[in-house]
Chain A
Amino acid sequence: MNVAVWLAVLVSALIQIGMVHWHRELLSQWQVLDTKQRELTQEQTRLLLEYSTLTAYGRIDQLARRQLNMTEPDNTRVLTQ
């Protein structure tokens, strides 16, 4: 009887140690992933801002007019049904 109880205590102590270790491992893993997620979000935001700057209406308008010599079609060139 006594031996069984001793064994149980020992086993549970070992399990507890294992659990704490596991918890810390998961925590550090989570931290790594969390940092990664932050970095990716940061990158995404940066790209989003860059994209919106590049596609800004005013910029496209300028590029079309100056570099590509484009202009609005005047009415003689509008197709009607």
Chain B
Amino acid sequence: MNATPRYSKTEPEVTGIARWRFVTVAIVLCLLALTVTGRLAWLHTIEQPFLFTEGEKRTVRVKTESARRGMITDRYGQPLAVSTRVVDVGIHPARVAPSALSELAQVLGRPEAELIRTVAQARLKKRAFIYLERQLQPDIADKVAALKIEGLQLTNGYRRYYPAGEVAAHLVGLVNIDHQGQEGIELSYDQYLQGDAGKRTVVQDRYGNIVKQVAVSSMAKAGKDIALTIDLRLQYLTYRELKAAVDQHSAASGSAVLLDAKTGEVLAMASQPSYNPNNRALLKAENMRNRAIADVIEPGSTIKPFTVAAALDSGRYTPGTVINTAPGYLRVKHKTIRDHRNYGKLDVTGVITKSSNVGVTRLSADLGAETMWQFLTKAGIGQPSGLGFPGETVGQLPYPEQLDALRLATVSYGYGMAVSPLQLAQAYTSFTQGGCRSPVSVVMDAYSPDDCQSVMKPGVAQQMLGILETVTSNKGTGRRARVEGYRVGGKTGTAHKVGRYGYEDARYTAVFAGVAPLTDPEVVLVVVVDDPKGREYYGGEVAAPIFSRIASQALRLRQVIPDDLTELELGQQVAKGL
């Protein structure tokens, strides 16, 4: 019975059991605290560098800013290639909420279902990043940015516009979607135009707002502008006339080069067929050929003036020296060189007027291979033009050792050699620059008067202009090159095209190379029409009229004073009723 009070006294035994529990709990708690402290210490010391960089990775961004590409303009500042700002819209598929896509589709003007499918597919393929829209107009991009969708990334970029389109496409060239030069000036001056991209290290929040700028490694530096020597007005009309003529004669291709007769600057350079550089989807490689620079032609009779100039420059001939071309053909080795008909006795001037193959063959045989080769080389035939254009051809001129009697004869009238239309035009500037030829240039301020290649004596160049004028006289082969109100000179050329089995009988290249006006030459123009189909195929029939049309408009645009007043005065008398 006493047991009950004793039991109440045994309560400390109960606390004894509680002490054991207490110790266990205390130890566990201590261990927990230790673990937490240990973990903290671990994270702060040993794991710290790793965690720090991981943290940085999520907030710190190195932003590259693409530099604005320089502008390409014509000689008066008219834009030929301009970069405008566009925005690429990309998305991190895993981070974007599907609900946000419908809003986005609305702003982008795309079907919602399609957009959701695109993103879902990218997510399935575990793609980290896809572009939704490239080269978006900035005003639409601003609306996209205003949606503040997570996982969306807007990148500033540029898009290249070519206001002159197909008219100057071959010369200006184009860039690819990443803004790198692919053709033409865009390629050859790529570095100069490009500029330097900028690089900044910044801290960003999750919406892409910049919170803090950590470092600037380099500021974006815009590319430099380039002014070409092209006059866009002349380029337009050259292109228009060339295109019309190529269409009219259903020719395979055509090209025209208009040079400043005094400086050798390229005023216009057109090729057919052309392409629209603003629409990359329709590009065809064969249309992108700059035929004035990249194609070679056999110049045919347009080389004859150089044979004659070489003869005059030797001092042994004058424009009046008589050469016997009878009986209208000449046998050289196993081949017979023929004229159209027997011209009989011609003076040196007449050889050009009538375009006598026999005449120039006799002259070149007398001069010898070495002299001929040297003269043509000085005129720039078979030599690089120095424009540094991609795909530019050097042409071909056989070395003197390769020139036996027959090959020398063929070279004297422009066969067995290859030149680009540009080289031919450049060679003709030696007549207009007083015998000393400046290298052609396509970028402004490249011309310097001291830098010229002496080709012939100034007196000979002057005589040659007179001789070239006879070609457009009533007796000459280039009557249709005449320009009302101006004295013009030039030389026609018709070369058989080379086919699979040597020269083809019925396919031709029609060429005209000319100078206008002769009193004080302003422009040198070469027109090449390749494979005209139809009844007209001679240089004098196909190329000369194009020369006339381009030259007359070019002279008017350049406000050149008419130097052939005889017809004009006649016209005025008619107008006065005299």
Contacts and interface: CB of A to CB of B under 8 A. Distances in A.
A76 B233 contact: no
A46 interface: yes
A41 B68 contact: yes
Contacts of A76: 571-572, 574-575
Contact of B556 (A24, A58, A72, A80): A72
* Residue picked from A24, A45, A53, most chain B C-beta under 10 Å: A45
A24 B212 CA distance: 7
A75 interface: yes
A42 B84 contact: yes
Interface residues of A, number: 23
Given A42-B138, A80-B562, A49 B236 contact: no
A45 B83 contact: yes
Nearest to A52: B163
A48 interface: yes
Given A45-B83, A46-B84, A75-B484, A52 B78 contact: yes
Contact of A41 (B78, B85, B164, B568): B85
B485 A75 contact: yes
B122 to A, nearest CB: 30
Contacts of B572: 75-76
B240 interface: yes
- Interface size band for B: 20 to 34
Contact of B571 (A27, A45, A49, A75): A75
Interface string B212-252: 11000000000000000000110011001000000000000
Interface in B548-578: 556, 562, 565, 567-569, 571-572, 574-575
Q: Is the interface of A mostly helix, strand, loop or mixed?
A: helix
A58 B236 contact: yes
B230 to A, nearest CB: 12
Contacts of B82: 45, 48-49
A6 interface: no
Interface string A15-50: 000000001100100010000001001100110110
A42 to B, nearest CB: 5
A1 interface: no
Contacts of B567: 75
A75 B234 CA distance: 21
B192 interface: no
B75 to A, nearest CB: 14
Interface of B: 68, 78-79, 82-85, 138, 156, 161, 163-164, 210, 212-213, 232-233, 236-237, 240, 484-485, 556, 562, 565, 567-569, 571-572, 574-575
Interface of A: 23-24, 27, 31, 38, 41-42, 45-46, 48-49, 52-53, 55-58, 72, 74-76, 78, 80
Give the 4 A-B residue pairs with the shortest CB-CB distance, closest first: A76-B575, A57-B236, A52-B163, A57-B233
